[in-house]
Amino acid sequence: MKVGIIGFGSMGSMIARKLLEHNVISQSELTCANRTLAKMEGFKKLYPDCTVTDDNKLAAKADVVFVCIRPAELKDVLCGIAAAVSKDTLVVSLNGSVMFSQLESVLAEKTRIAKVIPSVNAEVDYSVTSVCYNKYVEPKDKANLEALLKSFGTVTEVAENELGMASELTSCMPGFIAALFSVFAQKAEAHTSLPPSQIEAMLAQTLEGTGRLINQKQLGFSEVLSRVATKGGITEVGAAEIFENFGKVAAAVFDKTLEKRKATTEKAKDSF
């Protein structure tokens, strides 16, 4: 399978590295395009048999081409590669704010298109990648794309209108979790002489362990809570406080982020 990557920023470069690190494709099957070739010099030294170019059309000739471009530049890039994309190519946009109808309007008729939202957790091969497909994508296209994406985690398919919430739960959530536990760490400092670095280390290790417990033992959140919180005990008191007060914060987070996502989608429409 030949893979093209257009745009070599944080996500484009991550996808390239992961596909090669896990031997999902060979170096000779990968073409990376970026308008600044110097940005790919280090990558080319590590993977000399890959093709690096400033010609997006070369990358677009692949079986699967990832387009890792900001919304403001996306239309121009797609217009530039439209003629190079074959009827069998799967075009994968990493921008969830641009709708299929917009992408289809600048590509050839019946172009197969997917939208993919990776997570920073892909860096440790433990991400949940959200994906949706337009109506022209065939089962073999889905199988090919998911084989690539599974190199750095699991893949969950959602409808286009649910991609926003899926993104909040997977791509944005590492940041939300970091913010939440940063607050826990700050509030703990007021009650202990433990140094901040030790507090953060304890929380991080416990967070990772809880995730492993849930996934390896296939437990729900409520089951974990019931194992820890004995009736009338300390954990029960703390958990009750979270249930009583944190729900308002969580609701406000989703209200704000989905509102921002809607505004971003409207702005993307203007750019098309």
How do residues 21-73 score in pLDDT, each as one tens digit? Answer: 999 999 999 999 999 999 999 999 999 999 999 999 999 999 999 999 988 89
Q: Quote the tokens at residue 129.
A: 């990648």
63, 88 Cβ separation under 8 angstroms: yes
What residue ranges define each of the domains in the chain, with the CATH number in brackets? 3-158 (3.40.50.720), 173-271 (1.10.3730.10)
Give me the mean pLDDT over the 172-191 stretch.
97
| 154 in Cβ contact with 118 (< 8 Å) | no
Instruction: Flag whether pLDDT at 267 surpasses 90.
Output: no
Number of Cβ within 10 Å of residue 125's Cβ equals 13
Task: For residue 92, give both structure tokens.
Answer: 């994968």
Per-residue pLDDT tens over the stretch 87-116: 999 999 999 989 999 999 999 999 999 999
pLDDT of residue 28: 97
| 122 token code pair | 């892909």
Fill in the amino acid letter for 153.
G
pLDDT of residue 271: 79
The pLDDT of residue 207:
97
